Structure 1
């Protein structure tokens, strides 16, 4: 099915394919999709394999520029880390994100066309998968290439073309529409898909939108859409009444040999993962035990506000010291031109196309949805609803399973306890912490969302849940979407030869660069660029 020719039509419109290339193909030379088996095979390719993780992680506050003397970088990484419009090409570039998402959408739409032609009565599960995959690819695109959803401005903010049918014309012209329109259409597709999805149609469920994966996506979408109660309801379809029975067993991961291949393979095989997408990407090597990509990376300095930031259960308001530890301890690498603090989750694999020549492709596996992150989605939505007790219960369920509280007596002996806290302790910590600024490292960031956040407990709980998600999803790119949602300012620091830090740039709350620029080929094809 990888040779299905209809993909060329959609990519022609969106990626500026040359006339000569087009003339080499018979117009509308589509594979005949005339059975349930063929539809299911078609839907295998309805998942976007372009990895947004690297572009989004490098755009976020999870990395630092380790200095011009560090040679382990390239122009693509430098452009992404400095919010410069990307001109370089690579498997992790913005063109790959765009191209692979629209290719996946084309497969979803072709499946929907075939289902409509054959009659959907016996193909409802396939229709559900086609709709949810179409919604997800558009969700990735709108959150990478557009401003974040804001009810006050999204009716005029530039969206992305929402493809609802297979393309049949020779030279179609596309309008970007608005973010509001894209979100409305994503919502329509999700709501239509959820009742239809059936796990019975999958032989290896982890690679497909099962019911739980679909509800996890619906929960995150509605969190971004500011539909707090729906986010809670959908997340509750994923998380059992006893959350610790469904989230990841981090202690088991921590008991494995501290070998990157061992732990990353165990991570991607865990039942807490709701969806796995194989991808061609260097994400696993950049955020791995290698010099590759070490110039722009998660350094020890950044880790002071992520992995080693103060936590409510260990915070001492007199000393300001936190002694939190982990059931699955981070991996720390330091040396000349190597400063990486990593929470190993992302595998690095290599696919040889020519073993003799030693060439091929960097590979990895994306885990877009997990039970852990869905639990934190529910915690955040409950915080916005004012359900503080329920929100803190969810956070405590997660922290007990992820962190390890350590107490030390006067003789240096350690004792261990559950990493859980109270609302009073949350308020105590975040009231005491300074806001991060250009001159201050802090896990407490000024929040400037489009919606109203009440000072005091609500704001403090949001700081806490955002911090938990920042640590949980580190190296995956999701932090960038929280930065956009909450209007968090990002300071890009560069390490100087004398050990000091220089501010290279500040990404302000309303900076246009928060919407990553469309690929240059797409702009050349006639689609309106993001303002700069």
Structure 2
């Protein structure tokens, strides 16, 4: 007997409930089989499912330090925050037996929806070929983002010499919930990511989406994710090419001085945001505990830097028991969680890094200064200079760390890729109470372990060592 599901369209960042005449009936016989092109549009409007990232890995990086005694006591006693503590310790098991990895679950739910569109929209009825192609392109951007994020959480950093054999992630490319669940290679993941994004840039997407539509993929976002992908592959010429294409479409920066005494924009009004991908499972309520910044990071800031002034606060602001350090606090300004989507500053930083690596240190510093000018009061800004190309690269990477701190895994992913270069490889130490934990460059602990519960129905899923 045929069943019907009714979809309520959710537009971007606010739920809009349509009248009964505008509900969408979708046939289901084992999987969703819409017949009309419009139904696939409605499926992609479900941004509550698709506007999501994997945000828990920030605490594993060298940007975070739990240095207040009261803080470690509170974290150690909290069942809700236990996964963050385990990630901070680079533990062999992050989640209890029977406990879900909600970040991974939500991303695979989004993947299921994207796969329905990618596999079926071109055969749908009542739409033009151009409409179908653009809808498919949106879904391909979403799928590429999911695969790129997850392969950097659970797989090894991309290395052209070993990617074909390095374990990656489970790559569902059709809307299925059955079959033998196994991981494929890192190379397989990147092949699909690049294919999806290269299709998407030619699919007829709108050049820019902003405001209530910022969670919908645009052509700028497809180029931006290509730039990020090639950066993680350490293919710097291609990363530069695509960062410049993204910036040719969208290049507006926020001037932080404008917001020193006024409301800071959320994602709908953030002119720097190219595509929203927010971390819905890291409530700002817990940010003062789980986003306590390391002294090493804080010491890299000029105290006149408005990112320091606006986006960090003394830990004592949040608890009288906290007497040490500063905490990432941007979430308190926006009322929203962290965002892992591509931004204009990220593209500028990719462009600057690639220029420095190509021997154009002066051009790299010009790009960095263009960004930094918007991060200081005009009366206090002094241009940054570099002595040579290598010094330019070091300064660009330091600027990247400051600009992207606390933003859904950027630093963790950077550590993974930079460990492939001996001059940037780094040993990290985390202290938790009386315990000390050390992470060596290229350690297996850079690949997050899967939650044990998934082996109940995926016995052939290969675990990270």
TM-score range, shorter chain: 0.7 to 0.9
What SS is found at the alignment partner of 2:339? strand
- Whether the 8 Å CA contact 1:331–1:342 is kept in 2: the answer is yes
- Whether the 8 Å CA contact 1:253–1:267 is kept in 2: the answer is no
| Structure 1 residue ranges without an equivalent (≥5) | 6-25, 257-261, 311-321, 351-362, 406-415, 428-456, 497-501
In 1, Cα distance between equivalents of 2:207 and 2:430: 50
User: Kindly tell me: are residues 323 and 472 of structure 1, through their superposed partners in 2, closer, same or farther at Cα, counting changes over 3 Å?
Assistant: closer
What SS is found at the alignment partner of 1:366? coil
Task: Specify which of 375, 384, 394 is matched with residue 421 of structure 1.
Answer: 384
- Whether the 8 Å CA contact 1:283–1:348 is kept in 2: the answer is no
The structure number with the bigger radius of gyration is 1
The alignment status of 1:492 with 2:429, answered yes or no, reads yes
> How far did 1:175 drift?
2.6
> How far did 1:255 drift?
3.0
- Whether the 8 Å CA contact 2:207–2:218 is kept in 1: the answer is no
> How far did 1:512 drift?
0.3
1:511 aligned residue = 443
Task: Specify which of 372, 389, 394 is matched with residue 399 of structure 1.
Answer: 372
In 2, Cα distance between equivalents of 1:141 and 1:397: 32
What SS is found at the alignment partner of 2:174? coil
1:354 aligned residue = none
User: Kindly tell me: are residues 365 and 495 of structure 1, through their superposed partners in 2, closer, same or farther at Cα, counting changes over 3 Å?
Assistant: closer
What SS is found at the alignment partner of 1:239? helix
The alignment status of 1:185 with 2:165, answered yes or no, reads no
The alignment status of 1:121 with 2:129, answered yes or no, reads yes
1:306 aligned residue = 297
The alignment status of 1:382 with 2:355, answered yes or no, reads yes
2:167 aligned residue = 158
Q: Deviations over 1:13-63 (max 9, x none)?
A: xxxxxxxxxxxxx9944344222221111113476455422x211100111
1:176 aligned residue = 183
1:331 aligned residue = 313
User: Kindly tell me: are residues 285 and 462 of structure 1, through their superposed partners in 2, closer, same or farther at Cα, counting changes over 3 Å?
Assistant: farther
In 2, Cα distance between equivalents of 1:307 and 1:347: 19
In 1, Cα distance between equivalents of 2:119 and 2:61: 39
Q: Relative to total residues, which structure has the larger helix share, 1 or 2?
A: 2
In 2, Cα distance between equivalents of 1:94 and 1:348: 30
> How far did 1:347 drift?
5.1
User: Kindly tell me: are residues 491 and 503 of structure 1, through their superposed partners in 2, closer, same or farther at Cα, counting changes over 3 Å?
Assistant: farther
- Whether the 8 Å CA contact 2:88–2:430 is kept in 1: the answer is no
The alignment status of 1:211 with 2:219, answered yes or no, reads yes
In 1, Cα distance between equivalents of 2:100 and 2:256: 33
Alignment of 1:345-356 (within 5 A): 345-346=330-331
1:37 aligned residue = 38
User: Kindly tell me: are residues 462 and 268 of structure 1, through their superposed partners in 2, closer, same or farther at Cα, counting changes over 3 Å?
Assistant: farther
> How far did 1:147 drift?
0.8
- Whether the 8 Å CA contact 1:287–1:475 is kept in 2: the answer is no
- Whether the 8 Å CA contact 2:169–2:185 is kept in 1: the answer is yes
1:275 aligned residue = 275
1:79 aligned residue = 86
Q: Deviations over 1:266-311 (max 9, x none)?
A: 46621111122455323422324xxxx2xx5424xx24x323326x
In 1, Cα distance between equivalents of 2:119 and 2:428: 47
2:422 aligned residue = none
- Whether the 8 Å CA contact 2:165–2:186 is kept in 1: the answer is yes
- Whether the 8 Å CA contact 1:489–1:506 is kept in 2: the answer is no
> How far did 1:149 drift?
0.5
In 1, Cα distance between equivalents of 2:405 and 2:270: 18
> How far did 1:338 drift?
5.7
User: Kindly tell me: are residues 3 and 504 of structure 1, through their superposed partners in 2, closer, same or farther at Cα, counting changes over 3 Å?
Assistant: farther
> How far did 1:491 drift?
2.7
What SS is found at the alignment partner of 1:100? helix
> How far did 1:246 drift?
1.2
Scaled by the length of structure 2, what TM-score is found?
0.80
In 1, Cα distance between equivalents of 2:258 and 2:415: 31
> How far did 1:154 drift?
1.3
Q: Relative to total residues, which structure has the larger strand share, 1 or 2?
A: 1
1:106 aligned residue = 112
- Whether the 8 Å CA contact 1:254–1:327 is kept in 2: the answer is no
2:464 aligned residue = 531
In 2, Cα distance between equivalents of 1:77 and 1:116: 42
What SS is found at the alignment partner of 2:276? strand
User: How large is the RMSD of aligned CA atoms in angstroms?
Assistant: 3.2
Aligned length: 419
- Whether the 8 Å CA contact 2:34–2:124 is kept in 1: the answer is no
> How far did 1:339 drift?
4.3
In 2, Cα distance between equivalents of 1:180 and 1:94: 27
- Whether the 8 Å CA contact 1:382–1:391 is kept in 2: the answer is yes
- Whether the 8 Å CA contact 1:67–1:494 is kept in 2: the answer is no
- Whether the 8 Å CA contact 1:67–1:495 is kept in 2: the answer is no
1:63 aligned residue = 64
In 2, Cα distance between equivalents of 1:64 and 1:103: 32
Scaled by the length of structure 1, what TM-score is found?
0.71
In 2, Cα distance between equivalents of 1:82 and 1:130: 36
In 2, Cα distance between equivalents of 1:391 and 1:128: 32
- Whether the 8 Å CA contact 1:76–1:89 is kept in 2: the answer is no
In 1, Cα distance between equivalents of 2:121 and 2:28: 22
- Whether the 8 Å CA contact 1:274–1:370 is kept in 2: the answer is yes
